[in-house]
Amino acid sequence: MEINKIGILTSGGDAPGMNAAIRAVVRSAVDKNIKVIGIRRGYEGLLSGDILELSARSVSDIIHRGGTFLLTARCKDMMQQDGIERAHKVCKVLAIDALIVVGGDGSFKGAQKLSKLGTNVIGIPATIDLDLDCTDYTIGFDTAVNTGMSSINKIRDTSTSHERCSLVEVMGRHAGHIALWCSLTAGAEEVLIPEMNRISTEEIVQEIFSNRALGKSHNLIIVAEGVGNTIKMAQDIENMTGIETRATILGHLQRGGSPTALDRMHASIMGYDAVESLLNGKKNRVIVYRDGKYLDIDINEALSYKKTLDKRMYKIIKVLGT
Ligand code: F6P
């Protein structure tokens, strides 16, 4: 099938590097005389026809910017069959030969449903959470971890000076990848993530006491957002230990900022490969990075994987944080 016109949208939570991916798609398409329609606010903009034509110049000066200049949204209508059917019709009216979706799991599920109706879709994985099971990497993760790590470094300084216990909550409602990476790279002694059995506050208190007995003068504990109630946990720890304890919630700080080199690299290659995949006649694919290689795989296959968490990382955090 000839590719003359494509649409691109970013959907779900934004991720640093999304702009670099849009730039790569637009410039790779323009290079092959393919027209590109930008769709604003993800699937919401698709449903309301909020579109703009993109040229090579429309994507100047965005490679280094966080967020997404196309804007993004979590579109509830795409969870209903009626919304999917309307979105499919808009793609037909726009006469786009393929829709490129830059986002995470939820965004790809919407794309998968669109593909069943006949819209040709290509997914580019972008979420700070790294929770897409089909790929070793998702655009935005490295920037989020670096932001988390450098924030924790600063908290560590003041925690050391005051000989306090510090709890830092990082993003990840359902996934603990950011928490694990931040813990290992910032030297935390404990990490709580939604994928593992909850450690009781009593057990954490025991750890704090034993680490203090080993000569530690302050404590650093990372909590993934999905574990919940970090502030209450900090209060309980203070009450149970008598050690001044503070909680810091990093929140959306980790979703912003200029993308790291790694994120720009993956975004640029995945964006280029998305267009290449279409030019090679492929349909309904997701661009993935696996075992050091970029591949395009069928979207149904992409959504059928279940990623296992690297439990070894947890063990290493505990050994190195003692
Ligand atoms: O995009 C992923 C993510 O940042 C999660 O880590 C977090 O739980 C969630 O999005 C927050 O979503 P919102 O910005 O809608 O509050």
Q: How far is the CA of 40 from the centre of ligand 1 (A)?
A: 19
Ligand 1 test: best mutation among 11, 129, 249, most atoms within 8 Å of CB? 129
Residue 129 designated active-site: yes
Residue 18: what pLDDT? 98
Note the pLDDT tens digit of each residue in 129-182: 999 999 999 999 999 999 999 999 999 999 999 999 999 999 999 999 999 999
Domains and CATH numbers, the chain: 5-140+259-302 (3.40.50.450), 143-254 (3.40.50.460)
Q: What is the mean pLDDT of residues 103-122?
A: 97
Q: How far is the CA of 172 from the centre of ligand 1 (A)?
A: 7
For residues 15, 308, 317, 156, the Cα torsion angle rounded to the nearest 10 degrees is 20
Note the pLDDT tens digit of each residue in 249-296: 999 999 999 999 999 999 999 999 999 999 999 999 999 999 999 999
Tell me which residues have their CB closer than 6 angstroms to ligand 1: 13, 127-129, 171-173, 225, 255
> Which of 129, 263, 273, 296 does the annotation list as catalytic?
129
DSSP state letter for 259: P
Note the pLDDT tens digit of each residue in 174-195: 999 999 999 999 999 999 999 9
CB-CB contact of 73 with 43 (8 Å): yes
Tokens 């900090």 sit on residue: 234
Residue 314: what pLDDT? 94
Residue 249: what pLDDT? 98
Sheet order of strands, 35-39 included: 51-54, 35-39, 5-10, 98-103, 121-125, 285-290, 293-298
Residue 54: what pLDDT? 98
Note the pLDDT tens digit of each residue in 54-75: 999 999 999 999 999 999 999 9
Q: Kindly give, in sequence order, each residue whose CB lies less than 8 Å from that of residue 123, ignoring residues fewer than 6 positions away.
A: 100, 101, 102, 103, 107, 108, 111, 285, 286, 287, 299, 302
pLDDT over 90 (residue 197): no
Q: What value does the mean pLDDT of the chain take?
A: 97
CB-CB contact of 126 with 10 (8 Å): yes
CA dist., res. 151 & res. 105, Å (int): 27
pLDDT over 80 (residue 308): no
Ligand 1 test: best mutation among 131, 138, 171, 252, most atoms within 8 Å of CB? 171
Q: Kindly give, in sequence order, each residue whose CB lies less than 8 Å from that of residue 36, ignoring residues fewer than 6 positions away.
A: 5, 6, 7, 8, 25, 26, 29, 30, 53, 54, 55
pLDDT over 90 (residue 306): no
Q: What is the secondary structure of 286-310 as a DSSP string?
A: EEEEETTEEEEEEHHHHTT--PPP-
Strand (E) or helix (H) holding 223: strand 219-224
CA 287-2-89 angle, 5° bins: 75
Q: How far is the CA of 216 from the centre of ligand 1 (A)?
A: 34
- In total, the chain counts a number of residues equal to 322
